[in-house]
């Protein structure tokens, strides 16, 4: 049975639109969410490394069979991040360049390795509680495979990441269409399968090279779907908040398009997850509950 949830449980607009008015503390939010769903994707860890005790609190506030998928910190996937998102030890001990926007770029390998170590250490409470799902490596749109040199270089990054993260289940999400050219995917798919890395299948607006096609391929032991909405207007735009990019409520007809692909991948994998990333207002939990109904599942509560 595919497990369905949302990408975040504490997005500001989601809190205001979906949760009861008296439910606002971190503890109450997570407990309320886990009464409806048994899986969630943690997005906050992309923006900043998780702090000590954070994962322990998540484990304590959720039922025994709850699963947290966790997005890798931006430095771990080659994103540029603001320096103030780095722990003091990273910001002060390493030399790095800054982009014209003031974000960190080209951090030294030692700094990247330290990010991996701090990230893994913070997640140990979830591991001990058997509540840690997949680590999502979402690569930026400029992590491309437009020519052989780029492909080799970026596959080396993935390979090193998989080696460092041995013992963890990993999912890989590309965000540039070049990865889905037939000649590229013929090389990439065996590479992912050899390393047991699960390729994310995404639904999103089809508006150029920074959109990936809705391709469903088994590469690892798990199936992982991310439904981002189809907001073509805001997809490649700098918006006032990230939620504006995902301001899209799926219709039942649009959700039905994914039912058979989900069921097919479910038959081919140990477990399959369907995560809604249209986290604007109550859109994600509404559509997640809709999808559970289409898959013949009842809500938890």
Give the DSSP per-residue string, the chain: --EEEEE-S--HHHHHHHS-TT--SHHHHHHHHHTT-SEEEE-HHHHSPPPTTHHHHHHHTS-TT-EEEEEPPGGGGT--B-GGGS-HHHHHHS--EE-TTS-EES--HHHHHHHHHHHHHHTHHHHHTT-EEEEEEE--TTS--SSHHHHHHHHHHHHHHHHHTTTSEEEEE--SGGGGSHHHHHHHHHHHHHTTPEEEEEE----STTS--------SSEEEEEE----TTTTTS--SSHHHHT-----HHHHHTTHHHHHHHHHHSSEEEEEE---STTHHHHHHHHHHHHTT-----
Q: Give the pLDDT of residue 300.
A: 62
Q: Give the pLDDT of residue 151.
A: 98
- The model's confidence at residue 301, banded by pLDDT at 50, 70 and 90, is low
Q: Is 300 within the bounds of a domain?
A: no
Domain coverage including residue 60: 3-294
Residue 171 belongs to domain with CATH number: 3.20.20.410
pTM of the complete model? 0.96
Q: Give the pLDDT of residue 240.
A: 66
Q: Is 114 within the bounds of a domain?
A: yes
Residue 137 confidence (pLDDT) above 80: yes
- The model's confidence at residue 3, banded by pLDDT at 50, 70 and 90, is very high
Q: How many domains, the chain? A: 1
Q: Is 287 within the bounds of a domain?
A: yes
Q: Is 299 within the bounds of a domain?
A: no
Q: Is 301 within the bounds of a domain?
A: no
């Amino acid at each position: 049975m595919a497990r369905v949830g949302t990408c975040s449980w504490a997005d500001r607009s989601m809190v205001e639109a979906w949760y009861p008015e008296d439910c606002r503390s971190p503890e109450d939010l997570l407990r309320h969410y886990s009464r409806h769903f048994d899986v969630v994707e943690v997005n906050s860890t992309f923006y900043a490394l998780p702090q000590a005790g954070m994962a322990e609190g998540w484990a304590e506030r959720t039922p025994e069979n709850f699963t947290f998928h966790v997005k890798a910190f931006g430095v771990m996937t080659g994103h540029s991040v603001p320096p103030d998102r780095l722990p003091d030890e990273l910001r002060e001990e390493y030399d790095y360049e800054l982009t014209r926007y003031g974000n960190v770029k080209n951090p030294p390998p030692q700094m990247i390795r330290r990010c991996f170590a701090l990230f893994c250490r913070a997640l140990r409470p979830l591991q001990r509680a058997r509540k840690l799902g997949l680590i999502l490596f979402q690569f930026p749109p400029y992590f491309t495979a437009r020519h052989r040199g780029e492909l080799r270089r970026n596959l080396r990054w993935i390979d090193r990441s998989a080696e460092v993260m041995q013992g963890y289940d990993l999912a890989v999400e590309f965000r540039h269409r070049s990865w889905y050219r037939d000649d590229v995917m013929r090389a990439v798919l065996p590479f992912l399968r050899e390393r047991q890395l699960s390729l994310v299948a995404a639904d999103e607006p089809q508006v150029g090279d920074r959109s990936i096609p809705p391709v469903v391929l088994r590469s690892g032991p798990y199936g992982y779907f991310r439904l981002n909405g189809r907001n073509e207007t805001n997809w490649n735009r700098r918006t006032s908040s990230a939620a504006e990019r995902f301001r899209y409520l799926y219709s039942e007809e649009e959700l039905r398009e994914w039912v058979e692909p989900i069921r097919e991948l479910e038959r081919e994998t140990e477990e399959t997850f369907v995560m809604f990333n249209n986290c604007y207002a109550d859109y994600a939990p509404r559509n997640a509950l809709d999808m559970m109904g289409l898959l013949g599942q009842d809500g938890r509560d």
